[in-house]
Amino acid sequence: TVEEIDTLAAKMPARYSLMVQLASWCALRYGETVELRRGDIDVDAGIIRVCRAAVRVNGAYRVTTTKSTAGVRDVNIPPHLHAMVRAHLVEHTGAGAKALLFPAPAGGHLHPSQHQSHWYRARAEAGRPDMRWHDLRHSGAVLAASAGATLAELMSRLGHSTPGAAMRYQHAAAGSDAALAARLSELRNG
């Protein structure tokens, strides 16, 4: 839920709080999130340019392309996060376009064990020990579908090249039919 996302973010250390928000509201994959750099964020336009991912290979990070060619995308940051993004860039991100948004304490990519220790504690304190990190991306997709995203918009936002995966999130948001009916009446009544 929206409240759980906020609680999880609040339970993370300040330097990783925005990581929860972006993974959720922008439906980013973990590898995309840990590879985000200052130059990927257009603060004025409110856009994240997703064009790389970091993957673990033989115990070390390797920067590579996104999961698919559709994964290269611009994702609009919801306006309620704009101030958080600005503050994070000032307080937690190094200077220069190549500075990682969420670096490890000693620099470089955030090691999974460093991240997981914070994540496991946050989810336990939030009363959601069952949450996997990828569930944040799933929540973001369902929220976008609930907000009325079309199949094409979901595919673009999530970086999917086929409709199948995106349709799962529209189905998960099927309870929003009453809101859709109300919007239809608004169209009719002008």
Catalytic positions, written as ranges: 29, 134, 137, 160, 169
Reading the block at residue 12, the tokens are 């993370």
Q: Residue 64: helix, strand or coil by DSSP? A: strand
Sign of the C-alpha dihedral, residues 56, 109, 112, 58? Answer: positive
Q: Please give the full DSSP string across 145-181, using - where no structure is assigned.
A: HHTT--HHHHHHHHT-SSHHHHHHHHHHTGGGHHHHH
How many Cβ atoms sit within 10 Å of the Cβ of residue 17?
21
How many Cβ atoms sit within 10 Å of the Cβ of residue 49?
16
Q: Please give the full DSSP string across 68-118, using - where no structure is assigned.
A: SGGG-EEEEPPGGGHHHHHHHHHHH--SSTT-BSSB-TTSSBPPHHHHHHH
